[in-house]
Amino acid sequence: MQISSRAQNIEPFYVMEVAKAASALAAQVAHTDAPMVFLNIGEPDFTAPPLVQEAAQRAVHHGHSQYTAATGLPQLRERISAWYASRFGVQVPASRIVVTAGASAALHLACLALIESGDEILMPDPSYPCNRHFVSAAEGKAVLIPTTAEERFQLSAAKVEAAWGPRTRGVLLASPSNPTGTSIHPDELRRIHQVVQARGGITMVDEIYLALSHDAQFGQTALALDDQIISINSFSKYFNMTGWRLGWMVVPEALVSVVERLAQNLFICPSTIAQHAALACFEDASLALYEQRRAEFKARRDYFIPQLNALGLTVPVMPDGAFYAWADCSELCRKLGIKDSWDFAFEVMNRAHVATTPGRDFGTAQTVQFVRFSTASSMQQLETAITRIRAML
């Protein structure tokens, strides 16, 4: 069978390859005194709050499971709009909000709507691998620009300007970022957007971790800067609905009908039951619970990062959001006599029964010396992981 070059150009999602190996080992050690601790997948250990679960059950019971509009339930778009106003003080008309089958569908739609074959999209290195693959799937080219800890592993206006070429179409940023948990300062984001706008380009910002910000100076939506910015968001992370596959995008008014037409043909609509359930995310009781959980994520970060640093797994920039630790393992690789973070991840997996994610997925800018830990697991799991890695060393 002849496979398309498009498919062949998509690299493996290495985090999932490592996850398969970890799951296989987990089955072998499940009944021992050292079962596997999973710190490799970016998935909250919390599930949807009670009101959300009850709303889903009501939708099923009352038969609210038929197709919705491709742009989503009007009442859900309205509630998202109201949340932007109450949470971020930004007025985002519901008419500009398109509910999608996860943030993945939103990114796919944005890229298909805006990228021509051969267009280049500038992205930071390191960054989430699937984002560059959405660009590739639209027959564009992701151009990864190396970043440093001094830059918070984020792009700057100066770097965007220097990298801009004749085929450049725009930028795709993430704030907070996966794998680093760092955000772009709003002032720098404004300067980046000005560079992009001056060249007739597009600014896309992945904000799926935005509501999990722990620092007020960074916890601001890019939508406050300009209504021409395209923002991608999700119910997976802050709202703890990973497997429900529900997200949304905010686009300029002129782009809504284009995205709607694409969504009608590619997805028909997002999950109707998930949409009815998501209405309950914005109830006062649900929002209060989400804020309690956000505080718990911060407590986990505040425990785990210093512990990693003490072990020699240096986290060069304290993450201001999300639930990741981007740790430099090069010193420990030298001590253990192993090559890089890929080997380190398997060493820790096999000897300490702790699953992590090597940096290979996230780019090429020194990523071989970094490993990503997810702090989305319980405090007990994090403490166990530290104890085991310390004993291994």
- Same domain membership, residue 100 and residue 212: yes
- Same domain membership, residue 273 and residue 222: yes
What residue has token string 């001590």?
A: 335
Residues 84/97, Cβ–Cβ less than 8 Å: no
Mean pLDDT of the chain: 96
Confidence at residue 18, expressed as pLDDT on a 0 to 100 scale: 83
- Same domain membership, residue 338 and residue 312: yes
- How many residues make up the chain in this entry? 393
Rounded alpha-carbon distances, angstroms, from residue 8 to 3, 11, 391: 7, 7, 42
Confidence at residue 248, expressed as pLDDT on a 0 to 100 scale: 98
Measure the N-to-C terminal CA separation of the chain; round to a whole number of Å: 48
- Same domain membership, residue 290 and residue 270: no
Confidence at residue 257, expressed as pLDDT on a 0 to 100 scale: 98
Residue from 178, 172, 193, 184 nearest 122 by CA: 172
Task: Give residue-wise pLDDT tens across range 198-245.
Answer: 999 999 999 999 999 999 999 999 999 999 999 999 999 999 999 999
- Same domain membership, residue 320 and residue 180: no
Confidence at residue 9, expressed as pLDDT on a 0 to 100 scale: 79
- Which of 232, 256, 282 terminates a domain? The answer is 282
What residue has token string 């027959």?
A: 139
- Same domain membership, residue 267 and residue 206: yes
- Same domain membership, residue 352 and residue 260: no
CATH number, domain containing residue 211: 3.40.640.10
- Same domain membership, residue 366 and residue 323: yes
* Spans in the chain with pLDDT lower than 50: none
Q: What residue type is assigned to position 312 of the chain?
A: G
CATH number, domain containing residue 29: 3.90.1150.10
- List, in order, residues 6 or more apart from 292 with CB less than 8 Å away: none
Residue 332 domain boundaries:
5-47+286-392
Task: Give residue-wise pLDDT tens across range 35-62.
Answer: 999 999 889 999 999 999 999 999 999 9
- Same domain membership, residue 129 and residue 67: yes
- Which of 282, 302, 334 terminates a domain? The answer is 282
- Which of 254, 282, 310 terminates a domain? The answer is 282
Confidence at residue 40, expressed as pLDDT on a 0 to 100 scale: 93
What residue has token string 């984002």?
A: 131
- Same domain membership, residue 178 and residue 154: yes
Q: pTM higher than 0.85, yes or no?
A: yes
Confidence at residue 48, expressed as pLDDT on a 0 to 100 scale: 97
The total number of structural domains that make up the chain: 2
Phi, psi of 176 (to 5 degrees): -65, 160
- Same domain membership, residue 73 and residue 54: yes
- Same domain membership, residue 159 and residue 42: no
